[in-house]
Structure formats: structure tokens, C-alpha cells
Amino acid sequence: MPYPYHKITEEDMAHLIRAVSRDRVCIGDEIPTEYYHDEMPEYGCYQPDIYIEAISKEEISAVMAYAYEHNIPVTARGAGTGLAGGATCRYGGIMLSLMRMNHIEDADTQNLTITAESGALLTDVADKAAAAGLFYPPDPGERTASIGGTVITNAGGMRAVRYGVTRDYVRCVEAVLPDGSIVEFSSNVAKNTTGYDIKDLIIGSEGTLCIVTKVTLRLIPAPNSTRTLVMTFSSIKPCIETVPKLLQTPYVPTAIEFLERELTDIVDRRLNKPFPVQEGSDFLIVMYDGSSVDEVDAACEMACEIAMEMNAIDVKICDSPERIGSVWSARAAILEGMKADSDAQEECDVVVPRARIADFVRAAQDIGRKYKIRVIVCGHAGDGNIHTEMLRNNLSDEEWKSNTRSCLKELYAKSKELGGQLSGEHGIGSGRLEFLEDFVGSRMYQLYQSVKLAFDDRLILNPGKIIEYK
């Protein structure tokens, strides 16, 4: 326990219920078990003492002020779709759901922005932008994520190659600080050098510094043409080596995803989602979009030439919505397919310099073999964010636990050696916490702790995530 937190009493419960409303509060066993964990229950299941669904920043402010005064831990939660064990009450206390705060304003077509409360779903925000002819590019696999959750975890996704990650679209964040203060970081402006850039520090801070209540996001004109190519190779080497070549043309791809046959087979077998390409062992899915058909055609033509020079077996150009849909729906089903194929999984989310992707992929396969873990490499090859999926095979509980841990340690060491990072888009949460200090070094870790204290001097916000006080 990092801190002698106050254990919630009947009196606290009564006060908190008065601050909100009894019909938006669950206590003890009333709390559905789905709120004990996120999409990776492997990273921890913890029962909150009290679960509160807030409907306004003022309510959140009141809850925080009380928690601050009484030393009660608080964990904010969106849709619970995280993959790092982030939105879990590791030290009990209050779970504060933002899912009822889901209002989305109409897109601002003058400023090219959209403003939404944290609990709005990413998919609804993107749809509302699209209805105004505008485009919200960030596209992490999970579109039922809350928009606030995507900001607080700096969600990445497929389209980061061309468009960047969530951070690149956040104009303004409204938040509640641990002491209950309501603040705004930046405003609806395109540039800002007014004081420290707290907004960017908040983005990706996984609910440990403040609670995000509303965000204003930058939109861009919608591209009006898109194509998806599937490049098929007979081995991994030319497949991965094609990636930097695609990035060196004047046409920036929207996405470059790497998949092995083993993974497409799992998705086909378990979820009946056949991958529309039958030959070959290694695939790149490459997407281009742009403001004109000509531009996208020229990009595709150049990409095809590169693939052929790299000895691709074939390149399929998908331009019908159905065909494009079948490719991306197979890609999107990977996590679900793996869950169906193995009773336990672990995942490594490193990011490496794009030039080192092939080195990492080779090393990951060797490390997996060494620890008898079925390792499948896939992910966002275009931005160096490689997901190394680990499936249990026939390992005993003990072997699985010990071997995945050793395997992860080696994978992280390899990433560091190649100039990479511990996590590219899923974050630290609880799941990667034990590896962080080693990875970033003790001075940097100490800096993280100082930053945490600058916001949360009583350590009550989402304790036991990102950093730990021993």
C-alpha cells in the first residue's frame, strides 16, 4: 500500500451519496464485477468500495474535494476498454464513472473542432464530425472507447502513420484536479505558448494527475478518396523491409499493418472472418487516402511498384467498401480471435524506430521460442508499434506466469537496445508498472514521481498506476 488510505465508512458513503444521487451509486456487492477490471483482467481485478456515475464536473469536483480531504483513493473510468489494467481500483476506494457525461456538441465548422464530454463514445464523436463533412482521424481498434479514455491514454491506432495519435488532435481539456478544482488546459486555439504545456502532460497520464471531464478536438477536412492494398509475401524479411521504402515516397500512407498467416488463420477459424487473401505467409495491409482520386491512385501505383521490387507474391487493390471492410474487419478481430484461441494471453506493446522493426520481429520470435511461448507478431508496422501477442499453449499456470515475465523482460530489453520504448499505445497502467523503472532509469522514474506529486500531493488519483511508491 503506497499510503495509509482512509477506508470508506458508512458516514463517507452517506456523504458521497448526498453529493450525487443514490440511483447513480452502487455500494459493495451491488457493483457489477465488470467494473473490477478492464479488457485485460490479467492485469488485475479489484472491487471498488463505492461506484459513482457522475453527471457533471461539479459533482466530480464535490467528490474529489471530499476524497482529498479524507484521503480516499479515486479511479475515474470510461468505457473500460483499456488494455493496461488502468481503470481499476487497485487500492479500493471510489470508482467514478464518466459514462453518463456523454454530450457531444455539434462540430464547429468555423474552427474545425468538436467538443465532447469525456463519456461520449469515440465512434459517436467521429460520426458527428463526419455528419458535418469533417474527419476525426484517431482510430484505435476499440471504437466503443470513451473519448475521455482515448485522451487520458493517448490512444494510437492504425491511422497514426499519416495522421498521428490522439495527442495530435487535442485542443483543449477541461479537468478536475485532485483537490476538486475545475481547470481548463489550453483553449480552442491552434498554437499556444502560454505557460507550461500541462495539456500534453495530462494526455497519456492514465488518470493519475486529474480527471478529464470535457475535450475539444481538432478535425480535418474529410479525405474524399481511399484505397486499401494487401501485399502478400512468402517470408517475413521482404515483408518488413518493404515498410521503410513505402515511407520514403512523397505519398504518406494512412496505415501500414503487418500480419502473419497464423493470426489470419486464427481469426478465420475462431470467428469465421476469412482474410480475403489465401496465398502467402506474411502480409502488409496498406491504406492510402487523400483529397483526390488521382492522388490516391498515384500513391497506390508507386506502392505496387515498390512491393514488386521487394518480391511480393501479389498486391491486391481493394477499392469497394465490401472488400476494404473484409480486410479491416479481419485485422480488427485479432484480440478477440486470440482470446478465443487461448485461455490466457499476454501482450507486449513496444514501439521501436521504424528502421528497426525487422530486428525486433526476429528477436521476438527467437525469445518466444526460448521460453516455449507461442508468440505472434503483428501490429502497426508503419509507426514501429509492434504488438507481440503471447498465447499460452500447454504451459502450466506457474510456467506461463514465469515464462511470460521472463519473455517480457527480454522483449523490453531488446526494445531499449534498439532505441525503442516500453509501450507504444496501450500505456503502463498496472500491467507494465513493474517494468517501468528499470526501463526508464531511476532518475527519470524519480522525475515521474515528482510530477505526480506536483498534481496529486496526497496520491489519491488512480494509485498504483504508472508509478508506485514503495
44, 37 contact by CB (below 8 A) = yes
Helix (H) or strand (E) holding 200: helix 198-202
The Cα 389–Cα 347 span in angstroms is 5
- Of 331, 361, 329, the C-alpha closest to 348 is 361
Interacting residues with a second copy between 370 and 389 (CB under 8 A): 380, 383-385
Number of residues that bind a second copy (CB under 8 A): 88
CA dihedral 70, 71, 73, 76 (to 10 degrees): 60
- Of 71, 50, 74, 48, the C-alpha closest to 60 is 74
CA dist 22 to 27, 61, 75, 96, Å? 10, 17, 19, 14
Interacting residues with a second copy between 353 and 372 (CB under 8 A): 353-355
453, 208 contact by CB (below 8 A) = no
Q: Please identify, using beta-carbon distances, which residue of 6 and 167 lies nearer to a second copy.
A: 167
Minimum separation from the CB atom of position 266 to a second copy (A) = 25
Q: Please identify, using beta-carbon distances, which residue of 222 and 271 lies nearer to a second copy.
A: 222
Minimum separation from the CB atom of position 87 to a second copy (A) = 15
Minimum separation from the CB atom of position 212 to a second copy (A) = 14
Q: Please identify, using beta-carbon distances, which residue of 186 and 462 lies nearer to a second copy.
A: 186
Contact window for a second copy (CB under 8 A) among 49-57, 61-69, 184-192, 320-328: 184-192
Asked if residue 29 binds a second copy (CB under 8 A), the reply is: no
Question: Given candidates 183, 308, 325, 434, which one binds a second copy under the rule CB under 8 A?
Answer: 183
Interacting residues with a second copy between 439 and 458 (CB under 8 A): 439-441, 443-445, 447-448, 450-455
Asked if residue 417 binds a second copy (CB under 8 A), the reply is: no
CA dist 303 to 227, 254, 380, Å? 11, 13, 17
Question: Given candidates 28, 41, 325, 419, which one binds a second copy under the rule CB under 8 A?
Answer: 419
Asked if residue 92 binds a second copy (CB under 8 A), the reply is: no
Minimum separation from the CB atom of position 187 to a second copy (A) = 5
- Of 242, 210, 238, 211, the C-alpha closest to 229 is 242
| Strand-pair category, 255-260 with 282-290 | antiparallel
The Cα 321–Cα 328 span in angstroms is 10
Q: Please identify, using beta-carbon distances, which residue of 201 and 340 lies nearer to a second copy.
A: 201
Interacting residues with a second copy between 119 and 178 (CB under 8 A): 153-154, 156, 160-161, 164-165, 167-168, 177
Question: Given candidates 195, 343, 397, 398, which one binds a second copy under the rule CB under 8 A?
Answer: 195
Q: Please identify, using beta-carbon distances, which residue of 48 and 384 lies nearer to a second copy.
A: 384
Asked if residue 422 binds a second copy (CB under 8 A), the reply is: yes
Return the DSSP state at 79: S
Minimum separation from the CB atom of position 75 to a second copy (A) = 18
Asked if residue 352 binds a second copy (CB under 8 A), the reply is: yes
- Residue 221: is it exposed, middle or buried by C-beta count within 10 angstroms (0-12/13-18/19+)? exposed
Asked if residue 226 binds a second copy (CB under 8 A), the reply is: no
Q: Please identify, using beta-carbon distances, which residue of 22 and 191 lies nearer to a second copy.
A: 191
Minimum separation from the CB atom of position 126 to a second copy (A) = 18
Asked if residue 108 binds a second copy (CB under 8 A), the reply is: yes
* Beta-strand runs (E) in 127-236: 134-135, 170-176, 182-185, 211-218, 220-221, 225-233
CA dihedral 186, 192, 198, 203 (to 10 degrees): 80
Question: Given candidates 45, 252, 332, 340, which one binds a second copy under the rule CB under 8 A?
Answer: 252
Residue 202 backbone zone (phi > 0: left; psi -120 to 50: alpha; other: beta): alpha
Q: Please identify, using beta-carbon distances, which residue of 92 and 420 lies nearer to a second copy.
A: 420
Asked if residue 38 binds a second copy (CB under 8 A), the reply is: no
- Angle subtended at Cα 112 by Cα 109 and Cα 117, rounded to the nearest 5 degrees: 95
Asked if residue 293 binds a second copy (CB under 8 A), the reply is: no
